Amino acid sequence: MGSVACESPENQVRCRLDSLRIIRLHSATRHGKPFVRIRNLKRCTCRSRPYLLRSLYRDGFLLFGRTEMNAVSRKAVVLVSGGLDSATILAIAAKDGFELNALSFDYGQRHRFELEAARRVCAAANVARHITVPLDLRAFGGSALTDDIDVPKDRSESEMSGGVPITYVPARNTIFLSVALGWAEVLGAMDLFIGVNAVDYSGYPDCRPEFIAAYQRLANLATKSGVEGTAAWKIHAPLVSLSKTEIIRQGIELGVDYSLTHSCYDPDPKGRSCGHCDSCQLRMKGFADAGLVDPASYVQ
């Protein structure tokens, strides 16, 4: 089935034909076109409804008899780093009924433990497919994560939230989303999930809601499916306004096994977390504030 979507910026109501129940009335056509009625139209209160119906005719859906079609699982591409946030968004995307297509990047990060965690997390989430794209950002470096720059340790909360940290990887989320967009268009997935968070990492410009909104507009301008109007892209960033504690609580509710994840920027050779980098500190505080034990292993 094609994916025709409409979207209402006014009320955030969004519907997509392949998630609605569609029924064909009678066995005839109207004006030479297959005639279908979309049920649950009350869910679609936006102004683009007429467009949506026109798209239906144009795409020539043909649904036989009065058989109702059940909701069809939509595909989503989920960016999975192997960290706590990405494990949580995998669980959220699964709860929302998406077929999970996980995308990781071997971008020249300081260690391999993150990618191993990504594989574990994806296996546990029963993803439809998981690919790891090599994309060596060490070619230009410029970050403590991709260059010979020390990872800052034991920074205070005010230090962490003031300015863009040296662990910022230049334009990383723009680069990653661009690759995700390309893969998603091939898959026919119109939904991308990214685990950005503007609360704990307020210093990262590409973790803000404004960035996500702008990227969604770009996706609709930059792709064949967006330009032809056969679908609308949606960038999901369900963690963007949550604290680390809230993210962990939500993940636990959804059954995420955080022992599979890896957050530390600077682990020891055995993969144990340092406990002192920004990422470790935020993770430890998140679990502590949630009243939970962090299952990660730390260097003593």
Give me the least distance between CB of 6 and Zn ion, in Å please.
44
CA distance 61 to 56: 6
148, burial (CB in 10 Å: exposed 0-12, middle 13-18, buried 19+): exposed
Does 274 interact with Zn ion (rule: CB under 5 A)? yes
DSSP label of 275: S
Q: Which of 13, 8, 72, 1 is nearest to 42 (CA)?
A: 13
Cβ-based nearer residue to Zn ion, 101 or 273: 273
Cβ-based nearer residue to Zn ion, 16 or 283: 283
List binders of Zn ion among 242-271 (CB under 5 A).
264
Does 280 interact with Zn ion (rule: CB under 5 A)? yes
CA distance 260 to 281: 18
Contact map string, positions 205 to 244, toward Zn ion, x by CB under 5 A:
----------------------------------------
Cβ-based nearer residue to Zn ion, 141 or 271: 271
Cβ-based nearer residue to Zn ion, 3 or 167: 167
The SS3 assignment for 226 reads: helix
CA distance 49 to 26: 22
With CB under 5 A as the contact rule, the residue among 87, 117, 198, 277 that binds Zn ion is: 277
Cβ-based nearer residue to Zn ion, 98 or 265: 265
CB 288 within 8 A of CB 244: no
Does 296 interact with Zn ion (rule: CB under 5 A)? no
Does 4 interact with Zn ion (rule: CB under 5 A)? no
Residues touching Zn ion, count (CB under 5 A): 5
Where are any strands of DSSP class E within 108-214?
Answer: 129-134, 191-193
Does 77 interact with Zn ion (rule: CB under 5 A)? no
Which residues contact Zn ion by CB under 5 A? 264, 273-274, 277, 280
